[in-house]
Homo-oligomer: A and B are copies of this chain.
Amino acid sequence: MPTQNKPTIYDVAKRAKVSITTVSRLLNTPDKVNPETRKLVMDAIDSLGFTPKAEARARAMRNTNRIGVITPFFTAPSFVQRLRGVASALSKANYELVIYPVDDMEHLQGYISSIPVMKNLDGLIIISLAIDSKDANRLYENGMQTVLIEYSHSALNSIVIDDAEGGRLAARYLIGKGHKRLAFLGDIEPPERYAIYPVKSRLHGFKEVLKEAGIELPKKYIRQAENRQDISIKAVHELLNVDNPPTAIFAASDVQAMSVMKVARQLKLKIPDDIAVIGFDDIDMAEYVDLTTIRQHLDESGRLAAEMVLARIKDPKRALQQIKLPLEFVERSTC
């Protein structure tokens, strides 16, 4: 016999052959009910294992021990790695992890509006999403402990990296290796709804160093491509088919760098001799395929974010933190 719902005062009343009023009264002002009746009702309560549900729930809801993560494409490798960091920190602290995947801005707005009001979360981590001042302030005002990753706002904690510096690192390294024809591949202008443009900054830094070195970055060497395999592959093909093709490609994500590698394999191009590749992120797979890349400590960012919310839940008076995580050049065999 499954699904035996918790007993209500109705069940108790029926069992004790009294009205629900009496049951309620017994629970709230016991001295106002006759001792004999009291005994009757108590027996019924005991035998049914009754516990006023709503009240318990309400009490339980004061401190939910749950923290939420709002993230787009939460199954993309880089997001997963951040989540891993979050999860490990949370599970140590015995907090539940609730995931709110956002497919579009609608979703995000929905979550952002209702979460701080509903308060059925103790804290919130928002990954790679822009949130406007009004929402940030609401989060702040309602005391929802929040950490932003890959975006920042003065009213909230945040963890970011120096994207431009990432681009510079790649450019310097490639130039150091003697490359003259450098290309850039990335989701430079993602659908505006996410409203954050880290790749653009990476391109900026990349350009900057090239310029300093007197190397041109012609338009044909810059490819906008969404982070999907089919699209990236197509972009890489185009990139490698221009005349005087580049000798090195800086891909703004490891996944796209892997698309470059795939196309190179198809075209029987040797990596790194015919074409050098640098990725960005250092996802797990990068090591498997020996991809040279720029590591942004993904796990770490998640762990840190989780620790920050937990710390602020414990002590809400803690100062806000705006953290910039360092990047690291990881030399492997594709470059």
Contact = CB atoms under 8 A, between A and B. Distances in A.
Interface of A: 1-6, 26-31, 35, 38, 42, 45-46, 50-62, 66, 74-75, 77, 80-81, 83-84, 87-88, 91, 96-101, 103, 106-107, 109-111, 113-114, 117-120, 138, 140-143, 229, 255, 258-259, 261-262, 265, 285, 287-290, 316
B91 A97 contact: no
Contacts of A83: 75
Which 3 pairs, one residue from A and one from B, show the smallest C-beta to C-beta distance?
A30-B110, A3-B143, A55-B58
Contact of A288 (B26, B103, B258): B258
Nearest to A60: B120
A35 B91 contact: no
Given A2-B140, A81-B75, A84-B75, A27 B114 contact: yes
A40 to B, nearest CB: 12
Contacts of A110: 29-31, 38
Given A54-B62, A81-B75, A107-B31, A290 B262 contact: yes
A103 B84 CA distance: 12
Number of copies: 2
Given A119-B51, A316-B3, A28 B287 contact: no
Contacts of A289: 258, 262, 289
B61 A113 contact: no
A61 to B, nearest CB: 4
A334 to B, nearest CB: 11
A117 B31 contact: no
Given A80-B80, A96-B100, A35 B106 contact: yes
A291 to B, nearest CB: 11
Nearest to A82: B75
B113 A26 contact: yes
Given A75-B83, A97-B99, A288-B262, A54 B46 contact: no
A119 B2 CA distance: 14
A98 B101 contact: no
A190 to B, nearest CB: 19
Contact of A138 (B46, B66, B107, B262): B46
Contact of A91 (B87, B103, B119, B255): B103
A114 B62 CA distance: 19
Nearest to A233: B288
B50 A58 contact: no
A59 B51 contact: no
A75 B66 contact: no
Contacts of A106: 31, 35
A88 B107 CA distance: 13
29 contacts: A4-B141, A5-B143, A26-B113, A26-B114, A27-B114, A27-B118, A30-B113, A31-B107, A38-B109, A42-B138, A45-B117, A50-B117, A51-B119, A54-B58, A54-B59, A55-B57, A56-B58, A57-B58, A57-B61, A75-B80, A75-B84, A77-B77, A80-B80, A91-B101, A258-B285, A261-B288, A265-B290, A285-B288, A289-B289
